[in-house]
Chain A
Amino acid sequence: MSPAITLAAGEASEHRGLIISLFAVFVLATLVITVWAGRQTKDASDFYAGGRQFTGFQNGLAVSGDYMSAASFLGIAGAIALFGYDGFLYSIGFLVAWLVALLLVAEPLRNSGRYTMGDVLAYRMRQRPVRTAAGTSTIVVSIFYLLAQMAGAGVLVSLLLGITSDGGKIGIVALVGVLMIVYVTIGGMKGTTWVQMVKAVLLIAGALLLTFLVLLKFDFNISDLLGSAADNSAKGSAFLEPGLKYGATSTTKLDFISLGIALVLGTAGLPHILIRFYTVPTAKAARKSVIWAIGLIGAFYLMTLALGFGAAALIKPDEIIASNKAGNTAAPLLALHLGGVDSNWGAILLATISAVAFATILAVVAGLTLASSSSFAHDIYANVIKRGQATEKQEMSAARWATVGIGAVSILLGALARDLNVAGLVALAFAVAASANLPTIIYSLFWKRFTTSGALWSIYGGLVTAVGLVLFSPVVSGKPTSMFPDVDFHWFPLENPGLISIPVGFLLGVIGTYLSKEEPDKGKYAELEVRSLTGTGAH
């Protein structure tokens, strides 16, 4: 530990009361919202879709709150602080990806589905097999994403409260898990949406404050900021050019392309984002939410540039790495330095920004948990196990129990992932979503010939390829930064599987369709197509 970190921990313990009270205020406020929302949650449409009564702007705010995760705030700022320009790709990919959602997915989905991504995937297919597949991939994608948020939570708290013991970190991960179970089981979609809206406002305000303070330090001269970042990083102008993280070898260059493709195609296949479009009454409102989300998320990512380069300019790289190997704590450290390492302001700013980051994590995990438990209850329990005969009450109770189960699983997994860069982990979730979900969404909506077996080939093929390649990649084993650094069973050279698994997902959809003798259900496609473009019969 460098002296400044020890100091940070020292400051932190002095101001522990302040930090804990800020956390507690947020947690308390969100619990009040949750209980209030819970009282208004009467039927399945309230629980899954927040009663479909949110406006385009409200949902745009909630979508931003759902999307700007710990990966965006902690991960991207950290990646830019350590690798300069190469960290920037994340923000660009994460943003451009929204155009796929806007142009091809959000409105048709809102028009043709009710509660889950599976509603659209299975619309014109044989229900049970396709819903099983959609439910499986929803849960897998969400758990990858949850892993990243849990890792972020552990990292934050160890920085803040000076908890370095494994027991302490696991305790925090468990606390996050319990809170998310409470939010979702009691508040349902309504509670989750309000928590995400509050969080989006806090996060944007926090980022604005830090950005302003960073720019103030450099008299609003961006060129100076970049110059100091380059000098302080000891890497010179290379810090501002592509290649520091991904330019080393031809393999890392391929990894960069793989990451880039996964980012841009992943968003429109993320179940927790897709179900947000069911919370508004019409497709037009869904469009409006995406437009708002693009504006808010774009503005936020522009600010992460200032945060990342600001951290690089004001903090020694050793200090960032000493605090967290993957750079995840760069943004909170930046807050400490902007306020003054030895001053009360530094501690207060650190506590505030950390509370914002904590809020960010809670709101995102609630969204993820809701997506996976709704999919379990609506796709797998109600339509596969009960064959469409479950009552609303049974379905909602299944969703609540699933929430508890998913919470427990993510607590267990979260403990394993704490030293991985959270932006990198989220990129894996994007790769899985783009490989397993996006092809079937696109084919279902736009390709007349597509069949049940095409959907199954694509979902399972994309899912198995993406997850399999990750399992045998350096993310899991064989490198000091791996999840299991002491063993080596990796043979796939890239950290992100997208370059292979996304084309495989798309290709298998075509192969599966042509290999089976099954005829597509023309009547159901007529229904889906007319409905998705016009909103006829949309709930």
Chain B
Amino acid sequence: MATDAPPPSKETHKLPTTEEFTEVQESAEFGELRRSYRSFAFPLTVGFIAWYLLYVLLSNYAGDFMGTKVVGNINIALVLGLAQFLTTFLIAWWYARTAAARFDPKAEAIKSRMEGGA
């Protein structure tokens, strides 16, 4: 703890005590925030890593399939590679939207109550 004492200037709000943190951690409200965050972020992480590994494995072991031409010189390998870009953009956008709509209000409510000196 000693190492993390905030500088005396600048920040004005006080840090809640360990007991207060423990109490909040065990509260239903925080449990709900943790559940909604984890149930969104964890499966999605597993999902995009699996999708990426599928692409790596296909590149390695399904050369003929990946070499199949789609249009002109554009083959499946290139299309799947570009699809990785597309899904990355989409997941980033989806996470930002979900976080703003579902996690931020809960997090802010807890934060302002804890820092409000309650």
Q: Residues of A at under 8 Å CB distance from B?
A: 43-45, 85, 88-89, 92-93, 95-96, 98-100, 102-104, 107, 114, 119, 122-123, 127, 222-224, 226-227, 230, 237, 240-243, 246-247, 253, 256-257, 260-261, 264, 284, 287-288, 290-291, 294-295, 298, 301-302, 382-383, 388, 392, 446, 522-527, 529-531, 533-537, 539
Complex: A208 Cα to B25 Cα, angstroms:
49
Tell me which residues from 1 to 29 in chain B have a Cβ below 8 Å from any Cβ of chain A.
1-4, 6-7, 10-11, 13, 15-16, 18-19, 21-22, 24-26
Contact A536 B52 (CB under 8 A): no
Q: Which of A102, A241, A525 contacts B95 (CB 8 A)?
A: A102
Beyond the given A100-B49, A240-B78, please list 18 additional residue pairs across the A-B interface where CB-CB is below 8 A: A43-B7, A45-B10, A85-B77, A98-B88, A103-B95, A114-B4, A237-B73, A240-B73, A256-B56, A264-B52, A287-B99, A522-B22, A523-B19, A526-B18, A533-B30, A534-B111, A536-B115, A539-B6
Q: Would A95 and B63 be within 8 Å (CB), given that A241-B75, A257-B57, A535-B111 are in contact?
A: no
Q: Return the chain B residue nearest A127 by Cβ.
A: B3
Closest to A290 in B: B92
Contact call B72/A227, Cβ cutoff below 8 A? yes
Contact assessment for A89 and B56 in the assembled complex, using a CB-CB cutoff below 8 Å: yes
Contact of A388 with B3 at beta-carbon distance under 8 Å, contacts A222-B74, A534-B114 already known: yes
Contact check, B63 vs A98: say whether CB atoms are below 8 A apart: no
The answer to whether B59 and A242 touch across the interface, beta carbons within 8 angstroms, is yes
Hey, which chain A residues are within 8 Å of B63, CB to CB? Answer: 241-243, 247
Q: Does B96 contact A (CB under 8 A)?
A: yes
CB <8 Å contact, B22 and A253 = no
Q: If A99-B48, A260-B56 touch, does A537 touch B73 (CB 8 Å cutoff)?
A: no
- Across-interface contacts of B16 in A (CB, < 8 A): 536-537
Q: How many residues of B contact A (CB 8 A)?
A: 65
B23 to chain A, nearest CB (A): 8
Chain B positions within 8 Å of A523 at CB level: 18-19, 21-22
A–B Cβ pairs within 8 angstroms, 18 of them: A92-B52, A95-B84, A95-B85, A100-B49, A227-B73, A237-B73, A256-B60, A257-B60, A260-B56, A291-B92, A294-B92, A295-B89, A295-B92, A301-B85, A530-B30, A530-B110, A533-B107, A536-B115
Q: A226 to B56, Cβ gap below 8 A?
A: no
- The reply to whether A230 and B73 form a contact with Cβ atoms under 8 Å apart is yes
- Given known contacts A534-B110, A536-B114, is B89 in contact with A294 (CB within 8 Å)? yes
CA distance A446 to B108 in the complex (A): 20
Q: Hey, which chain B residues are within 8 Å of A227, CB to CB?
A: 72-73
Quick one: which of A85, A224, A446, A530 contacts B21, CB cutoff 8 A? A530
Contact (Cβ within 8 A) A284 B104: yes
Q: Which residues of A contact B111 (CB under 8 A)?
A: 534-536
User: Which of chain B's residues have a CB closer than 8 A to the CB of A446?
Assistant: 38
Give the residue of B41, B52, B61 whose beta carbon is less than 8 angstroms from that of A260: B52
A-B contacts, CB under 8 A, total: 181
Least CB distance, B111 to chain A, in whole angstroms: 5
Report B-chain residues with C-beta under 8 Å of the C-beta of A45: 7, 10
For residue B65, give the distance in angstroms from its CB to the closest CB of chain A.
Answer: 10
Closest Cβ neighbor of A52 among chain B residues = B10
- The residue that B11 contacts in the complex, of A290, A535, A539, with Cβ under 8 A, is A539
Within 8 A of A (CB), among B37-68: 37-38, 41, 44-45, 48-49, 52-53, 55-57, 59-61, 63, 66-67
Q: How far is the CA of A439 from the CA of B92 in the complex (A)?
A: 22
Kindly report which residue of chain B lies nearest to residue A95, judged by CB atoms: B88
**Most central of A43, A261, A522, A536 by chain B CB within 10 Å:** A536
Report Cα–Cα, A527/B60, bound state, in Å: 45
A31 CB, nearest partner CB in chain B, Å = 29
B25 to A: closest C-beta gap in Å = 4
Most buried by A among B6, B10, B16, B85: B85
Q: Name the B residues within 8 Å of A534 (CB-CB).
A: 30, 33, 107-108, 110-111, 114
Contact between A88 and B67 (Cβ–Cβ < 8 Å)? Answer: no
Complex: A525 Cα to B21 Cα, angstroms = 9
Q: Is the CB of B25 within 8 A of A530?
A: yes
Q: Once the chains are docked, how many angstroms separate the CA of A288 from the CA of B18?
A: 30
For A383, what are the chain B residues with a Cβ–Cβ distance below 8 Å? 3
- List, in ascending order, chain B residues with CB within 8 A of A298's CB: 85, 88-89
Return A400 CB to nearest CB of chain B, in Å. 19
| Residue on B nearest A448 in the bound complex, by CB | B25
With beta carbons under 8 angstroms apart, the residue of A44, A88, A242 that contacts B60 is A242
The answer to whether residues A294 and B88 also contact, given A223-B72, A533-B34 and a CB cut-off of 8 A, is yes
A85 CA to B73 CA in the complex, in Å? 12
- Known: A96-B84, A537-B15. Contact between A223 and B57, CB under 8 A? no
- Measured CA separation A89–B66 after assembly (Å): 14
A93 to B16, CA, bound (A): 41
**Known interface pairs A240-B73, A383-B3. Does A253 touch B60 (Cβ–Cβ under 8 Å)?**
yes
Residue ID in chain A nearest B13 by CB atoms: A537
The answer to whether the Cβ of B101 comes within 8 Å of any Cβ in the partner chain is no
